[in-house]
Amino acid sequence: MISRRGPLKEIGWVRDHLGDPKLVIVDCRYNLSDTDYGQHAYENGHIPGAYFVDLLRDMTGKISKNGGRHPLPDLDLFVKKLESFGITEDSTVVAYDDNWSGAARFYFLMQYIGFENSYVLNGLYQNWVNLGYPTDKSVPGKRRGKLSILLDTHIRLDIDHLRKGIDTMNLVDCRSSDRYAGENETIDPVAGHIPGAVNHPFMESVNDSGYLDKSLLEKKFSDLPNDPVLYCGSGVTACVNFVAMRVAGKDPRVYCGSWSDWISYPENPVEK
């Protein structure tokens, strides 16, 4: 089911609600080439009251031969992290970053564990700074929250789901067009895409100030059915299109292992 709540919160709304005890802000900045970047960026300045979540330590599980480069985290540990931020069933949670995908991954995880009252800031941290809104370097203390998990299994697919339904699924590759075409693969050892997938690069769903307007996203995804299956390189950047398609009123799902999982099985076909 599509969440009854839209996935975005505007920057002005967050500014107006700073200090609200029910509002929990989460900083999800990261850089794959620098594993300490997110923590350092957070320490150098963040939205007041924000807690930091690390992509590799908090939003990624144990990496193995299969499962992709960023498998989903241990959900019990993830929930314990959230509870240390004071998150309860009554909280409103807003995530932000500086590249769109960290916050989108966090939003997907929140939706997956059944926490619907979670959102992505409709803008980057730099947009917040450019507006002259307050920033802070202090780290908020741990709090005591309480959450329960009620998995929304509809939105997550693994390799078994994909293999069984690939002939009827509408696959969307969210990587750049050159990687989709197998022309410029610099991350994964095999180039190309899953047979039958169409290409909607995630960066075309956003601009310098936020996600494209609902009408533009509806037009952008008008060639797709209601429930497309999204993938990228490792299941992170596809979440940007997960957010964008929810804005457009669609009911997307994510193949979380994505391309890096698909090619870990030598028997899986590859298309260029």
Catalytic residues: 232
Show the tokens assigned to 59. 């939003």
Of 232, 224, 233, the C-alpha closest to 252 is 224
CA angle 156, 8, 46 (to 5 degrees): 100
- Tell me how far CA of residue 16 lies from CA of 12, 96, 98, 134, in angstroms: 6, 16, 21, 11
* Residue where the block lists tokens 């989709």: 180
SS3 content of the chain, % helix, strand, coil (to 5): 30, 15, 55
For the sheet with 118-121, list strands across it. 8-9, 118-121, 92-96, 23-27, 51-52
In angstroms, rounded to a whole number, what is the distance separating the alpha carbons of residues 125 and 29?
A: 9
* C-beta of residue 136 within 8 angstroms of C-beta of residue 46: yes
In angstroms, rounded to a whole number, what is the distance separating the alpha carbons of residues 235 and 203?
A: 15
- Tell me how far CA of residue 150 lies from CA of 154, 251, 268, in angstroms: 12, 18, 32
- Tell me how far CA of residue 197 lies from CA of 162, 170, 217, in angstroms: 12, 7, 19
